Structure 1
Amino acid sequence: MSSNGKGTPAPDESTRITLQACLEECMEAVDLFLNNHFSESLDKLRPRVNESMYHALIYATVLEMQAMMTFQHDDIARAGNTMKSAQEVCQRFRRKSFSLSSKSSGDVLTEEQLHAEACYAECLLHRAALTFLQDENMVNFIKGGIKVRNSYLIYKDLHAFIQSHSSLGGPNHFHLEGGVSFGIGAFNLTLSLFPPRILRLLEFAGFSGDKDYGLSQLRDGATSFSLRSMLCVLLLLCHYTFLSFILGTGEGDVADAEKLLKPFLVRYPRGAIFLFFAGRAEEIKGNIDEAVALFEDGCRAQQAWKQFHHMCYWELMWCFTYKRIWKMAYFYADLLSQESRWSKAMYVYMKAAYLSMLPQEEDRPFGDNEVELFRQVPSFKQKIAGKSPPTEKFAIRKARRYKAGSPVRLPVPVLEMMYMWNGFTMIRKRPELTKGMLETLVEAERTLQDNPVNEYTVDDRCVIQLLKGLCLKNQGQTQAAEDCFNKVYSSEKKIKFDHYLVPNALLELSLLYIDLGRREQAVKLLQKAKNSYKEYSMESRTQFRIHAALSKLQADTNDTDESTEL
């Protein structure tokens, strides 16, 4: 019996099943998971989590996915502990004091030891993701960064090792290659999204991910039908349909997402995960009714994991927002406030926001009152390991004005939050939806002009100008859009509360200039937005989007000069 570097005995040879049998059983568990049989999937994996690196890894990965949907501290902690245990199982299979980059011919790894390296690196990667999820403070960013760096170095060595040992083969080799494709792809894609100053905090100074290379590695992994195909597919779908909108400039490649989804929708026609992403793809195309039908199908497809329902409710809420059907949007915000633990403050804020969009004389559902709801928002503030989600902080700040005995109404709180989730990009292909939003904004502007001036007036006018600019840009009225964004920028010294408006107006103006081919002006504005404003609401999200725009222009010369590709 062999042992690892710490003297822990390796699994007993007589009871251990073969690597191939482990992989086959784990593939069956993944198949169950994708077919909505979540409990059965975990039941299949559980008996061998202490003896098989793959059973341990996939079991912990399923719990991690659940934690990412619930966002509950207990689920995140449990997933983290399970992933740590999985890492310890993988460690038992690793070769003691071995360097993959060593050129010594005596250093030959067995097939199982190579797989152990890939599984160990994957555990580190997952644990880093959970660390960030659990607490966004700087200490945990650094801790997570160390795990990320160690994981990256193993993947880098494995990748080079596989490339230089082309004679490696065997029936399980494609699973190993799939694992390395996932790791290298995940690193390159994820790091390409991060602004350089955040990479430096993560101790990744001097590195930047190659987005295109990352995407190509993930596509290779997604089409390999290996154990990691699911992870590669899900990460790609997240990138195409979410990350490129929330942290980017809103140019997700829907065609690529649909091409990726097609075989999985054929194989898993009732798979809740794939119905959800299919709905999101339709939403991005502006096909809101088709998206609603798919999200509703996703809810009907399974009842075991309510968390999937909450993801669908969230998207349904926005779909009805784009159509300005405020009461239906309110209905989904209400469901989320009752069932989901992600951010009750956010859901109650959205409930109040939707009610505030209704005419004063119209009856409110359930006898709710928006002023009372806005006043409740701060009481639902949550601390996830000492930290509140940025969108929750934003909602609490915006609701503060309702503390007053005679509060000053927020003019368009729904549309303002819609901007935070890049929702105006969703309706750009639907002129009638943009037209409706513009009508709502013009009406809000008229109401503001009719009301007496107060301490919030300038901020409220600027909110409306920013959002009007986005609608006008959607309509191709570029000069009018430019005027709106410039009005916000020129009001910089008069804005009292909503300091996020100026850097975002500069960002939107620069994106408009990019579309018009005015590249140099765009770069100057992006650099100003990036460097001249600090400590405003949703800053990190704005910084991610600025970085995405600069990357698109390949103009951030100071940072690209000092970086090397992974």
Structure 2
Amino acid sequence: MASGDDLATVFSSDESTVLSQDDVEMAVSGINMLLNNGFDEAQALFCKYKDDSPLMNAGYSFVHFMQALMSFEEEKLAEALKILQTTEKTCETGDGFIRAFKKRFSKKKQQVGSELSVEDRIQRQVIVADCLLYQAVLVFTNQDIASYIKGGWYLRRAWKLYEKLHSEVIQLQEKKTCEKINQLSLNLSKPDSNDSVPNQTQKPSKESTSKLPQEPAMDNNDNELTQEVISRLLGSVNFGYGTFQLCMSMVPPKILKLIEFLGFEADRDAGIAALVYCSHSSDMKAPLAVLGLLWYHTVLRPFFALDGANRFSVGISDAEDIIQQKEESFPSSSLFLFFRGRIHRLKKENDASLVIYHKALDESCGQREIELMCLYEIAWCNLLKLNWDKCLEAFTRLNKESKWSKAYYSYLVAVCLGSMGEVEKAHEMLKQVPSLVKRKNNQIEAFVNRRAEKFKKVTPTQEHCRLLALELLFLWHALPTCTAEELQPMLKVCDMQTDHKLLHLKCLVEGGIFKELGEEEMAVNCLKETLARHQGMKDDYHVPAFAMFELASIYMKSPETTAEAKRLLHEVKENFHDFDFENRLNVRVNNALKHLKSNSKQTSKQSVKQ
């Protein structure tokens, strides 16, 4: 938890003393409390002073945003959206049509002194852009077309602000740099001690005064913008600027067209560079930039195959470097422990990952959202090891304590029960799933609903439930985090399948497992069999789409088969629609095509040189 001395300083100080404290320092303290397991204390601090400073108001809304993002619960998502909209309105600096109309025809003239300083104006506009960005992220959690369009509108508005502010702050920084260069030039041009010394009683001439250093850069209200302030503002802008670029990496290209982002391609490298700059700045969002980078390297890069279909663990070293740099600042932070656990998973060290997640769970005691995040990862680590009883324990607790998607967690509980042989209990649970679905346009709930509907009148077998568990591991892109020792038992589960109606799914999972074992010939045979067995079927259209992607990812490795890989990727992109998890697969397909295009350009350049 946060230090008791820190809290005593904040809450026992005289009110006027606290309010006169630099709000930047106070906001940074609040964020550090948040990340050092002092979630409640940080929330109390931001809540107390949210009406006294735009930065504290921004911190208050961010705490709610973070709670909503970690929990995925509808009530918290709705509450966070409302609070972010309030902060956005509070910090708006531009004159809308109505405000401009009233201002123009009002008899009362605005006092010049009431104008915002450049620093305050830029800070407020950054907060507005951040609020729009956070709203987009929350809306995107629904993962449906309507949400992508709405979220895209928020992103577009945010991007226009970030682009404008980034350019403005860069210009301020360049101006300050020029002033320093001029100052240095003047200093170097002064005569040294060996030169003649002018009469100190003599008044300076007009010529000599014109060579004196100019005053520091001022804003419209004669407030000096120091280099420190400009650097902090740039860090503040760069957080949203960089996060925006990474968000764009997750948006399917078809959705980009729908929200009129046609022609826009996110510069991922620029986004990473912006977040790195922010992480080393004095802005309150510096620690958040660190978390953003860790999330990118350990979650987004592998899940969406952002570095190509076959470079799953490429972000490990980057994440480890960040953790090492920030270890002293956040020694027992449950969030940093969470990312340590992710790193171990990517390194196929699931036993070590479980130890770290249990430690994070202990450290996060009382912070419900972080507890549920850790519990979820513990459940998945046990699922990778086919520890059905431990999976059941964790998913049962999540089903009871989490308000997010009872349908999803009930489905997971049912699959675990069935995998343990308790098929009657599994059947009863599966029959409840359709009634628990709240949002049929949500990809996950739509998927578990379709799966559960098949068991209305038919009791599942133990073998079938275990295959459904492996399907989840495949679709959640978790197989690459398994060792050969963990993958072998999964093949035995596939061998147990005898129902001819499930052979297409069995072959898909087998193909994914053989691919991770390095037995690519067997993988190709299984994936081709998947396509053959699915022909004529009227459901499970996600199976052939994912099979084609897996085939393409294997063919991409050899120059002789890259043309076939490209053909398969385009077939998935152009001919498969309205299947389960279409959006997440389209992101992977798009990144794979970009990777092929990049490799083709490099090959062409090398050929020209030779």
Q: Does the alignment reach a TM-score above 0.5? A: yes
Aligned counterparts, 1:80-479, within 5 A: 80-92=81-93, 110-133=118-141, 138-165=145-172, 166-168=174-176, 169-248=226-305, 249=309, 250-358=312-420, 360=421, 364=422, 369-383=425-439, 387-405=440-458, 409-410=464-465, 412-427=467-482, 430-444=483-497, 448=498, 457-458=500-501, 460-479=502-521
What is the distance in 2 between the residues matched to 1:196 and 1:109?
A: 40
**How far apart are 1:516 and its partner, in Å?**
3.1
Distance (Å, rounded) in 2 between the aligned partners of 1:174 and 1:404: 65
Cα pair 1:265 1:275 within 8 Å, conserved: no
Letter in 1 for 2:354: V
Q: Does 1:551 align with 2:608?
A: no
How far, CA to CA, are the matches of 1:284 and 1:229 in structure 2? 25
* Structure 1 residue 275 displacement after superposition: 0.7
Contact 1:142 1:203 in 2 (8 A): no
Residue 588 (structure 2) pairs with residue 531 (structure 1): no
Q: What residue number does 1:44 align with?
A: 45
2:500 matched to 1:500?
A: no
C-alpha spacing 1:556/1:391, structure 2 compared with 1 (3 Å): farther
CA contact (8 A) 1:237 1:277 kept: yes
Taking structure 2 as the reference length, what is the TM-score of the superposition? 0.79
**Post-superposition offset of 1:491:** 2.9
Cα deviation for residue 137 of structure 1 reads 5.5
* Contact preservation (8 Å) 1:510, 1:522: yes
Partners of 2:303 and 2:435 lie apart in 1 by 27
Report the CA distance shift for 1:388/1:138 in structure 2 as closer, same or farther (over 3 A): closer
What is the CA–CA distance in structure 1 between the aligned matches of 2:116 and 2:478, rounded to whole Å? 53
Distance 1:132 1:471 in 2: 31
The equivalent position to 1:519 in structure 2, one of 562, 568, 580, is 562
Q: Is the 8 A contact 1:550 1:556 kept in 2?
A: no
Residue correspondence of structure 1 range 12-91 to structure 2 within 5 A: 21-91=22-92
Match of 1:483 in 2: 525
Please list the CA deviations of residues 416-471 of structure 1 after superposition, one character each: whole Å capped at 9, or x if unmatched: 011111011111xx221122222222233xxx1xx5xxxxx34x101111111111
Deviation at 1:225, TM superposition (A): 4.5
Which residue does the alignment assign to 2:194? none
Residue identity opposite 1:343 in structure 2: S
Identify which range, 223-232 or 469-478, moves more after superposition. Answer: 223-232
2 CA distance for matches of 1:138 and 1:527?
21
C-alpha displacement of 1:70:
2.0
Q: Distance in 2 between matches of 1:302 and 1:496?
A: 46
> Would the alpha carbon gap of residues 225 and 113 (structure 1) be closer, same or farther in structure 2, given more than 3 Å must change?
closer
Q: CA deviation at 1:357?
A: 2.1
Change over 3 Å in CA distance of 1:395–1:19 after alignment to 2 = farther
Name the CA distance, whole Å, in 2 between partners of 1:19 and 1:534. Answer: 58
Q: Distance in 2 between matches of 1:552 and 1:402?
A: 41
Alpha-carbon spacing, 1:109–1:522, altered in 2? closer, same or farther (3 Å):
farther
Contact 1:52/1:89 (8 A) holds in 2: no
Shift of 1:57: 0.8
- The CA distance in 1 between the partners of 2:345 and 2:578, in whole Å, is 32
Instruction: Give a deviation string over 1:328-367, Cα, whole Å, max 9, x none.
Output: 1111111111111112111111112122223x4xxx5xx9
How far off is 1:41 after superposition?
0.6
Counterpart residue type for residue 554 of structure 2: L
Alignment partners' CA distance in 2, 1:368 and 1:60:
46
Deviation at 1:22, TM superposition (A): 1.0
Q: In structure 2, what is the Cα distance between the partners aligned to 1:523 and 1:251?
A: 23
Given that 2:28 and 2:285 are in contact with CA atoms closer than 8 Å, whether structure 1 keeps it comes out as no
SS at 2:332's partner residue?
A: coil
Aligned residues: 511
Could you say which residue in structure 2 is the equivalent of 1:510?
552
Tell me how far apart the structure 2 counterparts of residues 276 and 127 of structure 1 sit (CA, whole Å): 24
1:12 corresponds to? none
Q: 1:467 to 1:140 in 2, by over 3 A?
A: closer
Q: Deviation string for 1:70-114 (max 9, x for gaps)?
A: 2222211211121112112212599999xxxxxxxxx99622222
Q: CA 1:137–1:539 in structure 2 vs 1: closer, same or farther (change >3 Å)?
A: closer
Larger gyration radius, structure 1 or structure 2: 2
Q: Secondary structure at the match of 1:266?
A: coil
With structure 1 as the length reference, what TM-score do the two structures score? 0.84
> 1:120 is matched by which residue type in structure 2?
V
Residue 395 of structure 2 aligns with an amino acid whose one-letter code is A
Q: Distance in 2 between matches of 1:281 and 1:203?
A: 36
Shift of 1:496: 3.1
Q: Assess if the C-alpha contact under 8 Å between 2:474 and 2:512 holds in 1.
A: no
CA contact (8 A) 1:295 1:312 kept: yes
2:367 maps to a residue whose letter is W
For residues 39 and 92 of structure 1, what CA distance do their matches in structure 2 show?
Answer: 31
Q: Percent sequence identity over matched residues? A: 26
1:245-270: per-residue Cα shift (whole Å, max 9, x none)? 33224345011111112233332222
Inter-partner Cα distance in structure 2 for 1:504 and 1:157:
41
Q: Is the 8 A contact 2:169 2:230 kept in 1?
A: no
Distance 1:303 1:328 in 2: 20
Which amino acid is 1:487 matched to? E
Assess if the C-alpha contact under 8 Å between 1:264 and 1:274 holds in 2.
no
Deviation at 1:316, TM superposition (A): 0.9
In structure 2, the CA distance between the partners of 1:108 and 1:23, relative to structure 1 (3 Å rule), is: closer
Structure 2: which 5+ residue stretches go unaligned? 1-15, 101-114, 177-225, 601-610
In 2, the alpha carbon distance for the partners of 1:232 and 1:119 equals: 15
- Counterpart residue identity of residue 303, structure 2: I
Are the aligned partners of 1:49 and 1:56 in contact in 2 as well (CA < 8 Å)? yes
Q: Which runs of 5+ in 1 are unaligned?
A: 1-14, 98-106, 452-456, 558-566
Structure 1 partner of 2:179: none
**402-411 vs 51-60, which deviates more?**
402-411
- Counterparts in 2 of 1:370 and 1:52: CA distance versus 1, 3 Å: same
- 8 Å CA contact 2:252–2:583 kept in 1: the answer is no
Cα pair 1:510 1:521 within 8 Å, conserved: yes
